Structure 1
């Protein structure tokens, strides 16, 4: 079946290179949907994203595109920043290849939308927010761009010839795009929602510790080990209520760490599970839920 997409269509775009960032993208996608965006949702994924995570992403995003993982290989600069994980953020450059959309807004998987931000599409390439640490630069966590194979080619050429001043995508996009940067996005970029919550439209969880790096107690609605509970509780509330049930359905009886203290799937052998059933102790809210049983039956009947 052929799919025809109007060139006038616009999209929010995110990136997930592994399952952890995929969960971040899931929450981001849900937050955009919940705030009634009229735009398409696209997520670029790397080959290390599991089948279960891909299945959930397909239910949230309009388009899930597998891309090659690009890596800067610049360990010196990344080590200086103490962020070796940023090397693969070069993969973000693939977003310029989405030429079936007329304009896009890229959003990192560690962002959360708390209000409708469709207004960003009124901005031109390349609009972004100032970086909190380097105001003369911009943060590439959220930016407006126009997909172009020509621009993509030039970015890759620039990477080959000049590299990146910080070893990651931030550096290459900042320098390459500096001549057409407009730092006038009307999104209030905050990392202290407790102080500026009334004006916030996008929360960006900067730094190495991401929301999924913590543990959450859904009964107490408390994030363990965090000094920013207000910021993280909103992320975890959305994840546990709307994303986790989808993940549980996809994993079925396969164990996985959900991040929620009361919902961590235990490693249970078939014999132990059978014994629990015989004792009337089936896990009806988890691996023995009706949805999972139905899924197994469907597979068997097919």
Structure 2
């Protein structure tokens, strides 16, 4: 039986970290499918190394850009041009079926059942439900389809300047042809919908399997305080911080240590974590016995901003390894 895969895309290091969290969330929920990430040339060597440890296949692709500044300006999202690169996923013909997931999605439950669906299966976009949201969709890789998509781009462009406009234009009968290809919203629950239809979120949100952080503000756009386990940033985020906290908890616990190992002694800016400078009192760590420190760790009370910070742990590892 031909292999099947979840596929995502990262064109820079910020989205690469999103892909790392997505890949980890799929692994943690015991997917039986392969994991594939398409990356652009701007992804750093360190990020690529971490991606290789999480994904079964890391494929370098050329970045396609719509160059459609007019439509992108209407959406105030000039960054969406490179999402045309997503079209490369149709070239993964060594897989029989794939589910594409944007790097700003987070899996909170096993979703392998999506592979029982057919091509063009997707959830409606919350902004215009007759269009499907291209953040999560089932597809069958095909070089023929890939060629037709590129031809469509050349002849018609995209009504929104990004991949979603292209895919909805190309698969124009999605809204009316087959209701079975309309995925339940729980497979692509937009974080924006939480604020626009809060009663529905309270009623159905607990059943969500995939959270999609739509909009310009991504999880890595905020800052995280590991001591208080809180997210700081846009005021909108603070009204429903639970989903962002899930993303940050996974990123901090499972992705950041991998990045630290890859960067070693090289200083690096994660782009999505700001560690406040220690005060003099914090730098003068009180003496704590090994037994008491172990007990605090076991109770989830590690001093992440002080003696148990990532920097101090790295120093200890360096001394030990040398």
Structure 2 length-normalised TM? 0.75
**Range that drifts further, 194-203 or 291-300:** 291-300
CA distance in 1, matches of 2:41, 2:124: 32
| Cα gap change, 1:276 to 1:112, in 2 (>3 Å) | closer
1:74–1:87 contact (8 Å) kept in structure 2: yes
Tell me the residue number matched to 2:34: 40
* Cα deviation code 1:26-45 (max 9, x no counterpart): 00000000000000000000
* Cα deviation code 1:58-90 (max 9, x no counterpart): 000000000000000000000000000000000
- Tell me, which stretches of 5 or more residues in structure 2 are unaligned? 175-199, 273-280
CA distance in 2, matches of 1:277, 1:112: 27
Distance apart, 1:249 and its partner CA: 0.5
| Cα gap change, 1:146 to 1:222, in 2 (>3 Å) | same
Q: Does 1:15 align with 2:9?
A: yes
* Cα deviation code 1:120-166 (max 9, x no counterpart): 00000010000001011100000000000000000000000110011
CA distance in 2, matches of 1:89, 1:148: 19
- Tell me, which stretches of 5 or more residues in structure 1 are unaligned? 1-6, 181-191
CA distance in 1, matches of 2:321, 2:297: 22
RMSD between aligned alpha carbons?
A: 6.7
Counterpart secondary structure, 1:53: helix
Tell me the residue number matched to 1:281: 301
| Cα gap change, 1:141 to 1:266, in 2 (>3 Å) | farther
Distance apart, 1:197 and its partner CA: 3.4
| Cα gap change, 1:291 to 1:55, in 2 (>3 Å) | farther
* Cα deviation code 1:233-287 (max 9, x no counterpart): 0000000000000001001111122367999999999999999999999999999
Number of aligned residues: 285
1:193–1:231 contact (8 Å) kept in structure 2: no
| Cα gap change, 1:158 to 1:217, in 2 (>3 Å) | same
Is the helix fraction higher in 1 or 2? Answer: 2
Counterpart secondary structure, 2:306: coil
* Cα deviation code 1:210-251 (max 9, x no counterpart): 000000011211001244311100000000000000001001
2:227–2:305 contact (8 Å) kept in structure 1: no
Counterpart secondary structure, 1:102: strand
